[in-house]
Structure 1
């Protein structure tokens, strides 16, 4: 049940730990020893680290929830013009992308998973803060762990408020069942997000050992995005500039754009923060993301989620990202298929099985090896995202100045494209930035915020739904910016108010 009041028992809440500790000298991943933790047994630095690792574990939620299995991609990019489902029209995601939201539970998947992360973060913050300082190697270690927990709670609320608007603001761990909390205002949620992320900024290094660990750059980036949602362009600029000035991250240029998404490159400097998988087994410590983005007869993907042909047609000739987004693909049988003719979409293979160059090298039927298990990450913040936000922010505040051009041209040049033409007006430059972000970041969950930030969400999506030729195109309204509060939550919590979208 997706109850805000959760289970009152601490022991099951603190889970069996099976996740990551990025503590090795080569910045790779190591498995944490499995074990039960309870309030009385949290005594050592290792226990504190395990508590925080358990929060990270919640980002995959068993491999099928939150950032795993396409869940966040469906609920963000899935209702925009950079993400399309082909195949079975009876799937729930089909109703989601067509804005047929009569089912109150159409967006229920992230709710419980995200609050699980929040409650784990609350427990970690309480218990680690209460531990004696002498338990830790030094004060910086304790502060770093508290900073990581704060970052993860801030990220969780950032995701919740983006999907549902104002939500119950729960800042203490659940110790007993009780009446569900009422919704806090959107502004109050953002105040807490800013507090958590600023605390993380104060206590984390710019690089946290691996992009699977919270770090200062990631906190600056998510904070900038939270500020942009509130129209605070100047404050967002400060945070984006801090990432760039740090020099801690850069664009991946050692291989093709597709290779950035290989398992072997999951720790690359371009990836500022991502959800990492150990690929340990089908049900533990892996991410089933890879099953949901490509067709079965290409690489054993379950679904046919890809890029709309309308966006594909805007990609310039010579763009190296065409290696990732393609309409004609080879099949197991040795022939080729046209994805547009077959599924009315273009394949987006950022998360395809063939990117598993560690857990399942090879092509064709070799994709069955270690089926559905991978060490692939789900990027939440990349440096190209930061550069394109830089271009957007500079243009908004100062027009298309040299800094704005430099930022967007770095991304274009990496893709093998020339610089944008000089002399663009402000609105023309905005269009160029949004197009670049759509192509560069498709299926990574940023398009909805981009459209809303520029006040073109309703008009863009209304026209897009009409262009798709759906049987019952919807006129998109401001009410569509927020998904319905899950019916299960409304039924369980008498203090929970619905969203306008619950009345669709």
Structure 2
């Protein structure tokens, strides 16, 4: 397909095919697990530019992950998305890993991150090897070595950031280790880890180009490094980490899971980093999607690969069929599985088109279609609801219950606890007999605007720049500007809701909930999760909705950060996160 491009870090189309179809490890063996001199040595790998490029491809494969379920050694057989751990969504099967979050069943022997935990260390080892060996590569290609080093520093920073948001300060490994090294490296402080990540981002931004040719779509750019810096500093400035009062005291070591102190200037740094992404965007030919119409702009971003808003996306997934896609979303259309349903808790976050809250009656009402029609256009572009189009096989979803034989046995209703299915990520062209690509991205420009609006409000209050940044996001989806004259707290509440809507189901909500420390609020990650029972009113085209509780979730304060693995704690060189 013309719009689908894979990473091509070589000059040969034949080599590209080999990389995609077999992987670097199949071609060269698991060389990272072999002692030098066995089968393939590091000297062999870095003896030619072609071999070094193969190593770089594997560095991407191991070092860049998505939130979409994958059943392989890189993802530990994850079968649900993180949205199912929050008020965004629910997975219909009780045995999926996300339910351990909802039941507060995490423990130091299981955190929900097991499959990827060790892969991150593999990725970091890969990047350290490249940084040590890249200058040995004989290459006459301008900037090859510098750009390779920039990619390694970006991927190393990305993997440390993924650990930072889960654990706080972690052991910092600056070189490739061997068996003669002391492998018991203690945890760094939170500040040290932030500084390490930002240092790699700054260096990567200097070494990487603003953009690559279309042949190399999927490689990290300067913008990706700036975007990672922005996200890191935003998280670091947030209440979970930036506070004089830790969420749970860890006597003598509060500076490991968090800063252990508050500094308002951290918000200023986050705002400056986000603004740097916005200012850079034209150089990278990056811009918000605004030319598809207010009813299509948002969907275009997540459905069309390599569109102008995407700063970095993953390129290792090929065509996928409905059976695999089902684990992300609506299984029960064709096969009996679980699927991801959107909660009524989250649906209520969508404003009306005029920017006011939707008036959902607590005991239900007879105007469901009207309610849906009045919502923010991003609702219909993200959520599959009663009467909406799914694909050629299901042109009008029947999510209602009743005695009608068709409705009672309609597959889309089975297992849908929230009363709505997840639309996002599932292309409308996908059917039981067709395949499709998932356009998963790590960074897009809209996030930079939202990061900027949030950070500058916390730093300076709701100044004009904060309004401008969020209003440009709302305008392209047909939503009105934020009302003028908001207080800092009022703006904070609205920007958090806007972020929840714009970045819905993109692996932001869980981490935003954590960093804002709102998980304990009723209906977020604790308390009642609501769905809708839907009934057709006679033979009309209107429906009655009745909210009902499908689950009561539990959240413990210790869960704001994941536990370190107990078997490593038992070795005596790591400090456990508080509460575990």
User: What SS does the aligned partner of 1:144 have?
Assistant: helix
CA distance in 2, matches of 1:66, 1:318: 41
Aligned match of 2:315: 276
Candidates 229, 244, 258, aligned match of 1:223: 229
Candidates 347, 371, 386, aligned match of 1:312: 347
For 1:344-384, what per-residue CA distance to the aligned partner results, in whole angstroms no more than 9, with x for missing partners? Answer: 223222222x35xxxxxx454224x4xxxx54232111111
Q: Is 1:474 matched up with 2:554?
A: yes
Aligned match of 2:251: none
Q: Is 1:343 matched up with 2:416?
A: yes
Q: Is 1:123 matched up with 2:129?
A: yes
User: What SS does the aligned partner of 1:337 have?
Assistant: coil
Structure with the higher fraction of residues in helix conformation: 1
CA distance in 2, matches of 1:117, 1:198: 19
Aligned match of 1:88: 93
Q: Is 1:242 matched up with 2:272?
A: no
CA distance in 2, matches of 1:403, 1:24: 44
Aligned match of 1:165: 168
- For structure 1, list consecutive stretches of 5 or more residues without a partner in the other structure: 1-18, 356-361
- For structure 2, list consecutive stretches of 5 or more residues without a partner in the other structure: 1-5, 29-39, 238-265, 353-373, 401-411, 530-548
Shift in Å, 1:471: 6.8
For 1:290-344, what per-residue CA distance to the aligned partner results, in whole angstroms no more than 9, with x for missing partners? Answer: 3432122336695422432112122133422122213326595776235788422
Aligned match of 2:408: none
* TM-score normalised to structure 2 length: 0.70
8 Å contact from structure 1 (residues 400, 426) kept in 2: yes
Aligned match of 2:188: 184
Q: Is 1:20 matched up with 2:7?
A: yes
User: What SS does the aligned partner of 1:350 have?
Assistant: coil
8 Å contact from structure 2 (residues 313, 439) kept in 1: yes
Describe the shift of the 1:482–1:97 C-alpha distance in structure 2 as closer, same or farther (beyond 3 A). Answer: same
* Larger deviation, residues 422-431 vs 43-52: 43-52
User: What SS does the aligned partner of 2:441 have?
Assistant: strand
Aligned match of 1:195: 199
8 Å contact from structure 2 (residues 9, 54) kept in 1: no
User: What SS does the aligned partner of 2:136 have?
Assistant: coil
* Larger deviation, residues 270-279 vs 215-224: 270-279
For 1:132-158, what per-residue CA distance to the aligned partner results, in whole angstroms no more than 9, with x for missing partners? Answer: 5x52412x2211110000000000000
Candidates 302, 306, 312, aligned match of 1:267: 306
8 Å contact from structure 1 (residues 105, 486) kept in 2: yes
8 Å contact from structure 2 (residues 71, 79) kept in 1: no
* Larger deviation, residues 110-119 vs 468-477: 468-477
Describe the shift of the 1:32–1:194 C-alpha distance in structure 2 as closer, same or farther (beyond 3 A). Answer: farther
CA distance in 2, matches of 1:73, 1:406: 36
Shift in Å, 1:392: 1.0
CA distance in 2, matches of 1:403, 1:70: 43
Shift in Å, 1:64: 3.5
8 Å contact from structure 1 (residues 71, 110) kept in 2: no
Q: Is 1:292 matched up with 2:299?
A: no
8 Å contact from structure 1 (residues 290, 301) kept in 2: no
For the aligned residue pairs, the C-alpha RMSD in angstroms reads 3.5
Aligned match of 1:39: 42
8 Å contact from structure 1 (residues 276, 375) kept in 2: no
CA distance in 2, matches of 1:280, 1:462: 37
User: What SS does the aligned partner of 1:135 have?
Assistant: coil
Q: Is 1:407 matched up with 2:469?
A: yes
Describe the shift of the 1:426–1:71 C-alpha distance in structure 2 as closer, same or farther (beyond 3 A). Answer: farther
Aligned match of 2:111: 106
8 Å contact from structure 1 (residues 485, 498) kept in 2: yes
Candidates 52, 55, 58, aligned match of 2:59: 55
Aligned match of 1:324: 382
8 Å contact from structure 1 (residues 48, 145) kept in 2: no
8 Å contact from structure 2 (residues 80, 328) kept in 1: no
CA distance in 2, matches of 1:79, 1:85: 7
Q: Considering only CA atoms, is the larger Rg found in Structure 1 or Structure 2?
A: 2
For 1:72-96, what per-residue CA distance to the aligned partner results, in whole angstroms no more than 9, with x for missing partners? Answer: 9845x554333x2231223221121
CA distance in 1, matches of 2:49, 2:156: 21
Shift in Å, 1:113: 1.8
User: What SS does the aligned partner of 1:277 have?
Assistant: coil
* TM-score normalised to structure 1 length: 0.80
User: What SS does the aligned partner of 2:563 have?
Assistant: coil
Candidates 379, 388, 393, aligned match of 2:450: 388
Aligned match of 1:6: none
